[in-house]
Structures are given as C-alpha cells and as structure tokens.
Amino acid sequence: MDEDAGGASPPPVPLAHVPPLQQPTTAAPSHRDMAASPTSSRSVTETVNGSHRFVIQGYSLAKGMGVGKHIASETFSVGGYQWAVYFYPDGKNPEDNSVYVSVFIALASDGTDVRALFELTLLDQSGKGKHKVHSHFDRSMESGPYTLKYRGSMWGYKRFFRRTALELSDYLKDDCLKINCTVGVVVSTIDYSIPHSIHVPDSDIGYDFGSLLDSQEGADVILNVGGERFHAHKLVLAARSHVFGSQFFDDESDGEKSEVNETDELKEFSIDDMEPNVFKVCFCSCIALSFQ
C-alpha cells in the first residue's frame, strides 16, 4: 500500500504461517439468556369522590307536602354517574307520622351494581361548627361500600332528624337548611408492567476499523507480503489471530515490552506464503467484518 522513502530499514522479521482469518462465530444463546423478563400486576381499588351542597330555602313552606314526597337537588356528576339529594320534609316512612325528616342520595343515571360510599352533613349555621354528620366512609371497613342496583336506588336515612328538634336548632336559620353530600364511587384498575424491548442499532464498528486501516492512523506494525507493505495495528491483528498475538507479544522479553521506541520506525514482519492481492482482500475485509 504505502511505500517508505529514504533510509535503510531493518530487515523484516519472518512471520510464522498465518492461517486464513476466520469469521467470528456467535455462541447460541443459553436458556437463561432466552428467559422472558418477569412481569407484575397490581389491583388498585379506590374511590372517586365528589361533593354537592343542597340549600333548601323556605323549609316551612315545604312542610305538609306529604309523607313520601321529596324535594330534589339538581343532579351532579361523580365517578361517571349522575346523583341527586332527596329531602323529605314530612319523612319517607308512613309509619313515622311525619315525626322525622328524611334525606337520601339517589342514583340519577343508568347504572348497574354501582358501589359507592356516602356522607350527608347537615350544616350548623351558628358558626360553632357542630355539624350533624352521617358518614358511610367511617364505616367502610365494617360493612364495605353500598351497592345501588339500578337507576333510582338510594342510600340515606328515614329518620335523619327529629323534626321538632330540627326546627329549634342552629341547623335551621332564616327558614333555610344546608346539606352537604359527598359521594365516593368505587373503581378498580389494574396496573401492570409491559416488557420493553430496546432496539439496538446495527454496529458500524467494522466501518470504523476499515477507515482506521485506510488512514494508517496509530499504526504500530508493518506486514511485508511479497514486497508489498501493509500498515496495521498489533492489537487488532492479535484479536483476530492467535498467531499474530503470539508473534507480537509472547516472544517479547520483559525488557522489550517495557522499552519505549524513541524512533519513528515501525517493526516490520514478513509473510512469504501468500500473494499480496489475496492477503489484501482477506486482511482488509475480515478485519473490518470481525467487529460487525
């Protein structure tokens, strides 16, 4: 390839017979290598919560509308369903003879076996914060969520508050009642891991080594084949051929291995049993391909 000009060079060192450069083989993956990555999943059950405030203005005028008749709030959405608060000023149960007011939360949209937790709070309007709270959330561990079978199903209290006591309490102010309603719809989801495959691009290291051979950058040895000289790199050749490795490194004494070459001359080895054009094809292509 490249001829040196000027000055006499030391005679090439004969190189033992070099077997044809072999293409690298890849070991078949073991069963352990081919094992699938472990997967996992997790069931998460929680509530989707929402609240609504129902203000009943003109309580005294609502009295006497009849047992089992109610005033309904505007519908509100929680957990993908519509809900409404029903207030019964004369009670829901005929047997109570209008002694109690009743309050219920109703499923106001289509649904089957909707599971939910509920809370009804009658607000203390005196500012003392002594609200009357009926909460299903506090008892969820005991009885679990309540299941509403169909549209119109309700949860609540027939005897929410004794009417005579309510009318003398701080819950009624200016003929107005305020009820907070909280609904927690139970939803379940599955979290699971998805094995991710990472695309590894084709290696171009073979191209890089081919470019390195062409540029001769960092070359530290010369191979003389039938008078034609090839600049090469010892470590690359040793990685591809144990004969080269033995010739370059095993035969060196400790003094030679540690010796620093203070000249620009490269050590030259001769190969006498191969034609230059044959060697050039094998040398260039196999060195590059071995690293692909």
- Domain range summary for the chain, segments of one domain joined by +: 44-191, 202-254+265-292
Residue 68 or 277, more confident: 68
Determine whether 100 is exposed, middle or buried from the number of CB atoms within 10 Å of its CB (0-12, 13-18, 19+).
Answer: buried
Sequence letter at residue 193: S
Tens-digit pLDDT profile for residues 173-210: 999 999 999 999 999 999 887 766 777 788 777 777 77
Q: Which of 178, 123, 185, 187 is nearest to 148 (CA)?
A: 185
Whole-prediction pTM value? Answer: 0.56
Average pLDDT for the chain: 80
Fold of 44-191: 2.60.210
Per DSSP, 190 falls in state E
197: tokens are 């495959």
Span 58-112, pLDDT tens digits: 999 999 999 999 999 999 999 999 999 999 999 998 988 889 999 999 999 998 8
Q: Higher-confidence residue: 89 or 244?
A: 89
Give whichever of 114-123, 226-235, 238-247 has the largest mean pLDDT: 114-123
As a dihedral over the C-alpha atoms of residue 226, residue 230, residue 232, residue 234, rounded to 10 degrees, the angle is 20
Q: Please give the CATH number for the structural domain made up of 202-254+265-292.
A: 3.30.710.10
Residue 10's pLDDT band, with cuts at 50, 70 and 90, is low
Provide mean pLDDT across the span 132-153.
Answer: 86
Between 169 and 12, residue with greater pLDDT: 169
